[in-house]
Each structure stands twice: as C-alpha cells, then as structure tokens.
Amino acid sequence: MKKSYDVVIIGGGIIGCSVAFELAKRGRKDVLVVEQEYLTSGATGRCGAGIRQQWGSMLNATLALESTHVFENLEEYTGYDGDCGLNQGGYLLIAYTEKEWEQFQKNLEIQHQVGINSHAVPLDCIKEIVPHINTDGIQGACFCASDGHADPFHCTYAYAKGAQGMGVEIVTYTKVTGLKVENGRIRGVATTRGDIEAKVVINATGGHAAQMAMLAGDELPIFPERHQILITEPVAHIMNPMVMSFHRHFYVQQTPHGSVIMGMGDPNEPVSLNTKASWQYLEHNAWVVTQTLPAFRNLRVVRQWAGHYDMSPDRNPIINEAKSAEGFITIAGFSGHGFMVAPRTAILVSNYLTGQQDSLDISRFSVERYKTGELLLEPSVV
C-alpha cells in the first residue's frame, strides 16, 4: 500500500471492484480498493444473485439489459479463469392483482423499446414454464428467458483479479475511519492502516454509504435495510426460472446444484445495520413461498442469513459527486438490485471519470433529483 493514489475506492463489493476494473481498463490504474473485511463480505456476498431485465423504467431496463450482456461474457471480459456461474433460466414474474398485471403490461412496452426479449405468459401456459406452480389467484405473468442469476463471489473476484492484473491494488481488513477534505475538495482517506492521499475517492459502501458520505459533509438519503434469505437442501431439479411476486414480496429459484434459495422483503423492516437472521422470517418466508410453490413444502432449510439493501427514496441508485467535497463520489442506494446492474453502472461511472462519452446521462442519478422532483420511479421492486 502506497501513501498516495489517483483513486481510492472504499468498499470491496461488486460495485467497488467493477468500478476499479473499468477505471483501470480506461487507463486510470493508480487505484486502491479498501475493504473493511474481505471481498464480498457486505451486501454482495449476501445477495440473492438474481439478474433481471424486466424493469418498469427505461433507465433500469437499459442498465439491466446492458449489464446482462457483460455478465454473459464476464470471464472473457475480465480474463478470469474461474466460472462466474451465470445461469439464464429466466424470470417468471407473477401478478396477483389486476393493478399489478396492468403495470406488467406497461413494463413490457418499455422493455421492448430497449430490446429486452420479455413476453406475457398466457395463464394456461404458466405451468409450461414452472410445472409445480400453484396458479390460484395469479392474474397474469411475464417471462424473460435471458434473465437468470450468477455467482456474486466469482463475479466480484473476476472484476477484482482483472483490476489487479492491470495494476489496481486491493487491501482487505482495512477500515476507512475518516475522509480528508480541504477547500471543498477530497484529499484522501484515513484508514486503520494509515492515511492515504487521493485525487478521487469513491464511496461504494452500500448500506454504510450515508455514514461514509457524512465524513465528507455530504448528506445522502441512503438507508440500510435488512433483508433475509434462506436456502434449502439440494434436491432434483424441478424449476428453472426465478419466480417472483411483487405483491407477495418474494423471489425464489432453484440453484444449479439443486438448493432452493428464496428471499422476501418486509414492508415493516426498520432502518438498521442488523445482519442477524430471525426465526419469524424463516417461518413466514417458508409459508409464503410454499403457497405459490407447494412442492417445496417438505424441503429442509439448511441456512438462513441477512444482508442489507442500501435503500434510496425512489429505490434507485444514487451516483453523486459531493458538493461539499469535489472528487468524492458516492455510488450506492441500489435498493436491492445493485448486483445485477453493477457492470453497466461501473462503465457509466468510469466513462464519467475519464471524460468519455456515454449513452446514459449520469446526472440523472444525482441527488438533485430529490430537489427537482424528477425521481427515477421504479414500479417493480421486491
């Protein structure tokens, strides 16, 4: 670790590592990634790992579509010798209310405009996609065959190793304890292993992002919210796609090795950095999911865990350079879909930092939108 870098990235999750990679690819190689524990130890390593393109806003649909293209070739793209575990089994989104079904149809139009190959599924065809589903109460469904999931650990390592190969340094078990700001400009970070100077500091700390930004005098509306997941014993494959219901707040999929992994949002979950799992969640999630997929009723749960969504008010990412500290850029607030849009987000941020053109307007993600009211409204999140 040197005393000074061009760019210091705080956070060794998928965002921090992908930004490091894309920056290095564009020639900004004097980069240090500082991770307080180990790579993926935060939200990335705890996430549901889904990759979904079926979004309801043009911006998210574009981010997801273009990220999916990167995931499809991530090993080659980063020069990684492992397997990033991409499995495109599709996402089946099911609507339980009329209103939800109407929204789905609007979403499809947007998705088709950006070129996503999603389609509505006639009710009598749902069982062709997921044979064991209980269709009671389902008003409609959509499917996108190229949705799927990938291994968040391998994806992060792929970016990290690719970045290191180009000269990026990564330090783990090192905590950033302070930010140095002078004359309205970021100058560096203080860490548990000493002070480091930097021209640019990137805050990719997920649920910790608001706390971190406060150290530079930047107030951001990002809140950590606990989300839990459970996983069952592996059994024979009976379900390819991820099944997702916004109305019932759940998603469930069967992994390639046969375990069934499922997660749920809780509308009453308080803001907190708690990562403890709860038995109430275990019982509730198991009950809700088996209403829709009764075949999973006798599976044994082998693990449960919790991680954080980094929530923003409009449940969309905040990419923001601090007014109080020029050169301090926060990339957070992904509200539960950071993993799946990370590849394209990293490209967007890196293009900005290297003065390159991008087809997306990065300013749309700034916190200014909460003042102007031009929110990034996304109707379809769990």
Partner 1 sequence: MKHIEVMVIGGGPAGLCAALAASSLGAKVLLVERDEIPGGQLVKQTHKFFGSEKQYAGDRGIHIGQMLLENVIAEQDIELWTDSTVLAIYEDGVVTVEHEGKHTKVKPDRLIIATGAAEKFLSFPGNDLPGVYGAGAVQTLMNVDGVKPAKRVLMVGAGNIGLIVSYQLKQAGVEIAAVIEGLPKIGGYLVHASKIQRAGIPVLTRHTILEAYGNGQVEGAIIASIDETWQPIPGTEQKIPCDAICLAVGLSPLTELAWQAGCAMAFVRELSGHVPVVDDLLESSRPGIYCAGDVSGIEEASAAMVEGRLAGLSAAFSLGYEANEAKALQQSAMEELAELRAGPMGQHIRDGINKVKLKRKIGNHAFENQTEKSGIVKDYSSDATNTCRAEIKTSLINDGIPTKEELDAIYPSDKRLTEGPIAIVECFQEIPCNPCVKACKRGAISMLRDINDVPVVDEELCNGCGLCISLCPGLAIFVVDKSYSGDMALIKLPFEYVPVPKSGHFVAGLDRAGRELGRFEVVRVTSGGDKNKTFTVSLAVPHDLVMEVRGIRIGEQAI
**In the complex, which residues of this chain contact partner 1 (CB under 8 A)?**
274, 276-279, 282-283
DSSP character for 299?
P
- Among residues 76 and 279, whose Cβ is nearest to partner 1? 279
**Spatial separation of the C-alpha atoms in residues 188 and 196, rounded to whole Å:** 5
- Among residues 286 and 346, whose Cβ is nearest to partner 1? 286
CB of 259 to partner 1, least distance (A): 17
The CB-side HSE value for 152 (13 A sphere, CA atoms) comes to: 23
- Among residues 4 and 278, whose Cβ is nearest to partner 1? 278
Find the helix packing angle between 58-72 and 98-114, rounded to 10°.
60
**Spatial separation of the C-alpha atoms in residues 42 and 279, rounded to whole Å:** 22
Amino acid at 267: P
CB of 193 to partner 1, least distance (A): 21
CB of 109 to partner 1, least distance (A): 44
- Among residues 278 and 324, whose Cβ is nearest to partner 1? 278
Strand ranges, E, within 138-271: 140-144, 148-149, 169-171, 176-182, 185-191, 194-203, 223-232, 242-245, 250-254, 260-264
**Spatial separation of the C-alpha atoms in residues 68 and 53, rounded to whole Å:** 8
**Spatial separation of the C-alpha atoms in residues 131 and 167, rounded to whole Å:** 49
The pairs formed by 254-257 with CB atoms below 8 angstroms and a separation of 24 or more are 255/87, 255/149, 255/231, 256/85, 256/87
- Among residues 153 and 305, whose Cβ is nearest to partner 1? 305
CB of 286 to partner 1, least distance (A): 9
Amino acid at 227: H
CB of 119 to partner 1, least distance (A): 39
- Among residues 114 and 282, whose Cβ is nearest to partner 1? 282
CB of 5 to partner 1, least distance (A): 33
Residue 73 CA to its chain's centroid (Å):
18
Token code pair at residue 182: 């002078």
- Among residues 37 and 368, whose Cβ is nearest to partner 1? 37
- Among residues 103 and 291, whose Cβ is nearest to partner 1? 291
CB of 34 to partner 1, least distance (A): 25
**Spatial separation of the C-alpha atoms in residues 268 and 230, rounded to whole Å:** 19
User: CB of 334 within 8 A of CB of 317?
Assistant: yes
What three-state secondary structure class fits 287?
helix
- Among residues 114 and 235, whose Cβ is nearest to partner 1? 235
CB of 303 to partner 1, least distance (A): 10
CB of 276 to partner 1, least distance (A): 5
DSSP assignments along 79-100, one per residue: T-SS----B---EEEEE-SHHH
